Structure 1
Amino acid sequence: MEASVEKLFGPERLEDAALRFGLQGDPKKLGDFENYIYEMQTAEGISVILRLTHSSHRSLEEIEAELDFLQHLEAEGCGKDMASSLASPSGSRIEQIMAADGSCFYACLFRKAPGGRAVPDSEAWNRQLFAEWGAVTARFHNASAKLDRTFARRQWSEDDLIANASAYLQDEDPGIIAQLASVLDRLHALPRPEGSYGLLHGDIHNGNFFVHEGRITVFDFDDLEYSWYIHDVAIPLYYALSSRIPDRYGADRDAYAADFFLGFLQGYRSEREMPEEWLDVLGLFLEMRDLTLYTVLAKKLGPEELTEGIRAWMGQMKERIMAGTPIVSFDFRELAAARR
């Protein structure tokens, strides 16, 4: 979390939010990168997730749109695929907690997803999981395509990490900004035929869902935005390859990437069509993720917070960015056709 926001947050803000939602027990902190996330209990002893978002990160209208989209997903039959929001005893979905400088934190409550996180080499990390991952993503896209109104969420190019990237990268190699401009030019040139572009989660990696009895429950829709649906295919593949390769693949990273992609695509196509021409630009979206992830780390972390591991990670990203290569280079259309 940015130091300026950290100064405004304190135990009293959390206590106020917990009181308004009628929560009990000792808060278990789960995260504080872009939002403050805690696990707490209701008066009935049910574990729930409390999220506090500073107004510098999201507006009230944006958060209302996020919660409206969750309701839409439920109405379209995706209730078991995502963690829904819960209202406070007063009936409010969002409670506003004022800060000392006149800004505020928006508090929301969510159902806790059943199960736990799936990680490489765990029993749950298999081809069946990859297919379920793809199927859930496709069901979200099917629901998104049925929206009959515009939600107050940003277009992909309006995201802070893109619109203000030059400011966050001003101390970095100028070549990174030049590479960002090149990738953005290619993205802006992409067409938007019907069924290819809409409101999407934008960040369905394995840190944003739990697995229980083979089923995925997705949470954290904070990055909800308008973009091409293929973006939601690129993100899982990107993060799968950013973490360690499962032992069963040895050092064969390409074999792992192919298995993951094909499993995910199989699941996706079981619920929704994936035109082959969009597989041709999957690499472009992988390149974009390197750039946005590098930018958010440059924005959020000061020099004293850059551990050796994070420096090495950013170094790998920078090398790919400067070379203009994605995290994995496949002819995805050819790979998909060969396995059909």
Structure 2
Amino acid sequence: MKTNLFVQDDNGLVQEAIGRFVVERVAFVPLESYESAVYAWELEGRKFILKLTRKSRRTREQLMGEIDFVQFVASHGVSVARPIVARSGQYVENIGGSMDGMVDGEGSGGSAGYWAYAFEWAEGERVGPGHYGSKLYKVWGIAMGRLHSLAELYAPKQPEWIRPRWEESELLPTLDVCALSSFPELRSAAETWMSKVRRIPEHKGEFGLIHNDMHPRNFHWTEEGIVMFDFDGLTHHHYASDIAVALYYGLAEHSRASENSWSPEQFLHYFLEGYSVCRTVSAELQRHIPDWMMFRHIQLYMLYFRSWGERPAGITERWTLSRYRKDIIGGTLFGKKPEDLA
């Protein structure tokens, strides 16, 4: 359901962006993406990733916060796709607009053009059905636990590089879109869930910087463990939300299969076993995992609503929105009660 931001006519813009990082003219391939446009290119046997994100969506400082954190965890032994420096010596390049110009007609009122930044290609292979099992779940949990532990030691090199809190990056946009819904029951149910998560206390050791999208499409598998990438969602948030996202996407993936032996209880058992290698797993943290799973469910509905409209023409899109509405109104996740999944 993800698409690239750009179309074929923008090849020149993408080539310009890649040219900020390499002298040679190279071929590039668009990759699956949504919030940003992502492209891969290869040079002298090495692969790289280019990301283009609208200035109306991110500031240069926020992107530098992402890059700074990735460098920090990499320096502490975490396997991640490392950022690369542009030919100018900068990590983030201005493409297709002035540094401070405003967009004419942009609803967000952000700056014109895009920011371009790049990373090394993540080593390893994409995670598929054959990888699912206790070994992956435990390694996945260990990686997240290490990330959360390092987040507590991290401070951005520049104070303006601080990443946003979850309320401004997730709650407020979701509330804004929710208010546009023409389904009163949906609006009421979503607002009830969002009010619930807003009241979750921020206990020490259970709140900090999180990846916020650490599912199998954002890491690769190697014999040594997993290599993480795409820290675009890096946010000050509840650690339980990061765990919930991992469980949520496992549930979403397996809910589409007519026959499978995947068990959310089994997943969480091995995942938390791995996570506990690095951090204490409190009862309070576990208690809120279902709440954050439901919140991600609402977020995805609002994202699709924003992309397709509330009554899209396509059958698949209409079915998807209808399924999510039914879940949100009924307080279920893919037909199951959240509290029965964690």
Q: Same fold (TM over 0.5)?
A: yes
Q: Distance in 2 between matches of 1:305 and 1:131?
A: 40
What residue ranges of structure 1 are gaps of 5+ in the alignment?
336-340
Q: Distance in 2 between matches of 1:304 and 1:246?
A: 23
2:175 touches 2:191 (CA, 8 Å); kept in 1? no
1:259 aligns with 2:266: yes
Q: Structure 1 residues 8 and 197 mapped into 2: Cα distance closer, same or farther (>3 Å)?
A: farther
Q: Distance in 2 between matches of 1:288 and 1:330?
A: 11
Q: Distance in 1 between matches of 2:300 and 2:45?
A: 37
| 1:261-298, Cα deviation, whole Å (9 max, x unpaired) | 11111111122111122111111111101111111111
In structure 1, the residue matched to 2:222 is: 212
In structure 1, the residue matched to 2:116 is: 107
- Which of 78, 90, 93 is the matching residue for 1:92? 90
1:129 aligns with 2:136: yes
Supply the RMSD in Å over aligned alpha carbons: 2.9
Q: Structure 1 residues 98 and 304 mapped into 2: Cα distance closer, same or farther (>3 Å)?
A: farther
Q: Structure 1 residues 2 and 32 mapped into 2: Cα distance closer, same or farther (>3 Å)?
A: closer
Pairing 1:153-164 to 2, within 5 Å after superposition: 153-159=163-169, 161-164=170-173
In structure 2, the residue matched to 1:192 is: 202
2:40 touches 2:48 (CA, 8 Å); kept in 1? yes
1:39 touches 1:50 (CA, 8 Å); kept in 2? yes
- Higher mean Cα deviation, 298-307 or 161-170? 298-307
In structure 2, the residue matched to 1:289 is: 296
In structure 1, the residue matched to 2:286 is: 279
1:166 touches 1:177 (CA, 8 Å); kept in 2? no
Q: Structure 1 residues 207 and 306 mapped into 2: Cα distance closer, same or farther (>3 Å)?
A: farther
**CA drift at 1:190:** 1.5
Identity between Structure 1 and Structure 2 (%): 24
**CA drift at 1:17:** 0.6
Q: Residue 103 of structure 1 aligns to a residue in which SS? A: coil
| 1:55-111, Cα deviation, whole Å (9 max, x unpaired) | 111111111111111112123321x2x111111122211111024956121111111
2:291 touches 2:338 (CA, 8 Å); kept in 1? no
TM-score (norm 1): 0.86
**CA drift at 1:8:** 12
Q: Distance in 1 between matches of 2:35 and 2:2?
A: 8
1:154 touches 1:226 (CA, 8 Å); kept in 2? yes
- Higher mean Cα deviation, 95-104 or 279-288? 95-104
In structure 2, the residue matched to 1:12 is: 12
Q: Residue 25 of structure 1 aligns to a residue in which SS? A: coil
1:237 touches 1:261 (CA, 8 Å); kept in 2? yes
**CA drift at 1:32:** 4.0
Q: Distance in 1 between matches of 2:301 and 2:72?
A: 32
TM-score (norm 2): 0.85
In structure 2, the residue matched to 1:338 is: none
